[in-house]
Structure 1
Amino acid sequence: MTNLTLGSLFDGIGVFPLAAIRNNITPIWASEIEKAPIRITKRQFPNMVHLGDLTKLKRSSIPPVDMITFRSPCQNLSTIGNREGLAGKKSNLFYEAIRIIEEMRNATDGNYPTLAIWENVMGAFSSNDRMDFKAVLESFLKTEVPIPPSHRWANAGMVRGRNADVCWRVLDSQYWGVPQRRRRIFLVADFRKFRARKILFNTEGMQSDIESSYKGRLFTTKDNRILSIETRRSIQIFPFQERRMRTYAKEGNKKGFISSFGRSTDPFPTLLAGTVDTFAFWHDGLESEGFVRRLTPLECERLMGLPEGWTEYGNDNKIISESARYKALGNSIVLPCADFILSNVAKVYGKEKTK
């Protein structure tokens, strides 16, 4: 056991707490306001305390933890959002998480939390003329961070301040064991031992573990074909890039419209909270009998690397509606990516904790 503890802000359906448990880290509390995700996580983590709306949280009501994970709302940062950036009503909640981290560190003489882990969309690199990601880094480091000479933030980087060590890296889920194209920024801030680099960039031994963990449960990104027991025919799956398809149709762009039809070797497009992906489906040699259908909530769970049925029931044993499941899954984090980071946390900080 590592004896490490975790608190999760903007918890959603509890992916960081699940990754924590998988790596012998104890999730102590979570903050979330959406009703369906709260019902789901209360069922999955009956011993985890739910603190409610983080804007109303005070230091005295939050137990100290070794690490705080958070994935502040992305609506104002996303390239498909309104692009108001961190000044937007939703994404501005990032600063509430920073407030909670600072208050906890001040109250514990800098002992807790040791780590902060933040996840967000790629749009955070470019929103507000690329000033928002600069503000994110400066919030953790408490010192000025210059914009790169290229005026673009790299997909991976490191900045070290006097009291913190910050690394960030883009992880695309299609390379982490699930057939979904989902690129997200993961940032690790270490306030004590300057080991963020080891946590975020140490991939030794991880790929084989990921492949074995999800073998036989998901389609691979190289080939989305599976063998049908009933027909012994190969099943062809062609995911559509619906947002592109609608855009090109509106523009009358025939070439672009055709390009939005995926190939059988393509990963699924990024799952979104506001829509449900569709795909074409047929058996080899029986193309005329094929059809187009939506992903099911179960398939979306698989595309997020989650245990099957993770979002099906709430703590009251009542079924979660499909619309609520789709929304929660589209807003969530891919488990293998969170698992990779927290497994490295357990390796690096677990050894120190048990000395």
Structure 2
Amino acid sequence: MNTKLTLGSLFDGSGGFPLAAIKSGIKPVWASEVEPFAIRVTQKNLPQVKHLGDIKDIDGGEITPVDIISFGSPCQDLSIAGKRDGLKGSKSNLFYEAIRIIKEMRCKTGGKYPRYILWENVPGAFSSNKGEDFRCVLEEITRIKNSSVSISKANKWKYAGEIMGDEFSIAWRVLDAKYFGVPQRRRRIFLVADFGGRGAREILFDTKSLPRDFRKSKEEGEGNSKTTKGGLNKTICLNDQGGERMDVSEEITGTIRAKAGNPPLVYDIRQTSKNTKNERHNIYECDVSRTIDTSGNTPTRNQGGVAIVEDIYSMSKNSHFTKADKNISSSLVATDYKDPPLVNQRLVRRLTPRECGRLQGFPDYWCDNLEIENPTDEDLAFWREVFDKDAEINGLKKKKTDKQILKWLKNPHTDSVEYKMWGNGIALPCAIYIFKRLVNIEK
């Protein structure tokens, strides 16, 4: 194949499909997106890609024909986390706009372009409206090639499947990003349609294995791999069911509670003196449990040397612990080289926007240097149209003035808009996997 395959991206978002295309030897040509921040991100990183604006304003017969059209249509109405309005919802029904554009392009080019389409969405599409929505997805995509085909509803849609027709094929499969080199569990449906042959199966399904991106160890291993069972030591489960008692179980974990919060922090401790009433002192770390007594006025009680503590720090070289006051640091201990062990409030640290981008497999620079200090008249006209459309979509009565737009262009980034972009985006390695296999088939 001498010429590169070309790509058009609908619902472009973070630019994941165009970036995956570039990394796979495919040329991205145009994109459609309405979120101003996402447009600025892809405009900065992919200046060669033409932005077409709102999908509702695009005529598929008038834009540049491409070999592949990708579209991760809005999933909010299909997701189990949403209201589940399905394809009739105000956002997820934009799926039909993508189908319209594809049909218009194929009509204008005599069925030549696009040959391939790639649709991405949440697994909730399988069960939305009791499976009817995914049946509609398959039927609409099939009718791009054959308008007379009807798809029957399944009792329960499988996480992988295919449809083979006369000179066309459709295949779908749930891919989990954790198997493609990123540290997050992100399961998404990827559906490929080949309107010129039976390549969809070969693009999506690999009967040999799944790719994994493991880093090489410094040293070669000499032993056999451990089994899951063999790699675990004795585990003790603490059962806190809301009362005063903490049950201990060696084999059965506790039931999940509706109560918010994290499991308590547990230290193996003992008290230094007997029958003290001072709860803030006389507890220290130990390896041997103290003698059981009947005292009920200390944290250890009769639990064999287990106390539930938080907000603690080390006070001396004897490894004594005490309950700390909030926002007050421990004094430095000059007689020990070890740092005092700190236990923070029971809150999970929030991921930064950059970390969210890494979880999706994107480079760190993707949202850097977005400001435009001295925009041209052409730039201002482009962004005026972007924000006018944004105001229309969101039902805003007032549109941004040129002064407000110029101010935004000098600093378009906020954490909230970046979080939103990554949350709506794709895991880049999954798209690269599919596009590389598509390119290999074409070769």
TM-score, normalized by length of structure 1? 0.75
Q: Which residue of 1 aligns with 2:363?
A: 307
Q: Which residue of 2 aligns with 1:29?
A: 30
Over the matched positions of the two proteins, sequence identity in percent amounts to 49
Higher-helix-fraction structure:
1
Q: Which residue of 1 aligns with 2:398?
A: none
Confirm whether residue 348 of structure 1 aligns to residue 430 of structure 2.
no
Confirm whether residue 286 of structure 1 aligns to residue 341 of structure 2.
yes
Instruction: Say whether the 8 Å CA contact 1:141–1:163 is kept in structure 2.
Output: no
Q: 1:109 to 1:321 in 2, by over 3 A?
A: same
Q: Which residue of 1 aligns with 2:74?
A: 73
The whole-number CA distance in structure 2 between the counterparts of 1:260 and 1:289 is: 14
Equivalent AA in structure 2 for residue 348 of structure 1: I
Render the CA deviation track for 1:273-331: whole Å, top value 9, x for unaligned: xxxxxxxxxxx993525863210011111111111131234363745211110000000
Q: Which residue of 2 aligns with 1:5?
A: 6
Alignment of 1:129-278 (within 5 A): 129-142=130-143, 143-148=149-154, 151-162=155-166, 164-202=168-206, 207=211, 210-211=213-214, 255-257=256-258
Q: Which residue of 2 aligns with 1:113?
A: 114
Instruction: Say whether the 8 Å CA contact 2:37–2:412 is kept in structure 1.
Output: no
Deviation at 1:171, TM superposition (A): 0.7
Deviation at 1:90, TM superposition (A): 0.6
The whole-number CA distance in structure 2 between the counterparts of 1:116 and 1:59 is: 14
The Cα RMSD (Å) is 2.6
Deviation at 1:124, TM superposition (A): 0.5
Deviation at 1:177, TM superposition (A): 1.1
Q: Which residue of 1 aligns with 2:84?
A: 83
Gaps of 5+ in 2: 144-148, 217-253, 264-338, 374-410
Q: Which residue of 1 aligns with 2:222?
A: none
Render the CA deviation track for 1:76-100: whole Å, top value 9, x for unaligned: 1011111110011110000000001
Render the CA deviation track for 1:28-79: whole Å, top value 9, x for unaligned: 0000000000000000100100000010111343100000000001111011
Instruction: Say whether the 8 Å CA contact 2:60–2:100 is kept in structure 1.
Output: no
Q: 1:261 to 1:114 in 2, by over 3 A?
A: farther
Q: 420, 425, 432: which is aligned to 1:327?
A: 420
Instruction: Say whether the 8 Å CA contact 2:60–2:103 is kept in structure 1.
Output: no
Q: 1:325 to 1:7 in 2, by over 3 A?
A: same
SS at structure 2 position matched to 1:292: coil
The whole-number CA distance in structure 2 between the counterparts of 1:344 and 1:255 is: 42
Deviation at 1:159, TM superposition (A): 1.1
Instruction: Say whether the 8 Å CA contact 1:115–1:191 is kept in structure 2.
Output: yes
Alignment of 1:27-106 (within 5 A): 27-106=28-107
Q: 1:212 to 1:316 in 2, by over 3 A?
A: farther
Q: 1:204 to 1:45 in 2, by over 3 A?
A: farther
The whole-number CA distance in structure 2 between the counterparts of 1:325 and 1:311 is: 8
Tell which structure's C-alpha radius of gyration is larger.
2
Q: 1:140 to 1:260 in 2, by over 3 A?
A: farther
Equivalent AA in structure 2 for residue 341 of structure 1: I
Equivalent AA in structure 2 for residue 4 of structure 1: L
Deviation at 1:179, TM superposition (A): 1.4
The whole-number CA distance in structure 2 between the counterparts of 1:312 and 1:205 is: 36
Number of residue equivalences: 288
Equivalent AA in structure 2 for residue 175 of structure 1: Y
The whole-number CA distance in structure 1 between the counterparts of 2:49 and 2:160 is: 33
Q: Which residue of 2 aligns with 1:232?
A: none
Instruction: Say whether the 8 Å CA contact 1:36–1:314 is kept in structure 2.
Output: no
Equivalent AA in structure 1 for residue 192 of structure 2: V
The whole-number CA distance in structure 1 between the counterparts of 2:171 and 2:28 is: 23
Instruction: Say whether the 8 Å CA contact 1:42–1:314 is kept in structure 2.
Output: no
Instruction: Say whether the 8 Å CA contact 2:61–2:107 is kept in structure 1.
Output: no
Render the CA deviation track for 1:110-141: whole Å, top value 9, x for unaligned: 11001000000111001111100000001111
The whole-number CA distance in structure 1 between the counterparts of 2:39 and 2:29 is: 15
SS at structure 2 position matched to 1:189: strand
Deviation at 1:204, TM superposition (A): 5.9
Instruction: Say whether the 8 Å CA contact 1:170–1:185 is kept in structure 2.
Output: yes
Stretch of structure 1 that moved more, 119-128 or 316-325: 316-325
SS at structure 2 position matched to 1:59: coil
SS at structure 1 position matched to 2:417: helix
The whole-number CA distance in structure 1 between the counterparts of 2:72 and 2:47 is: 22
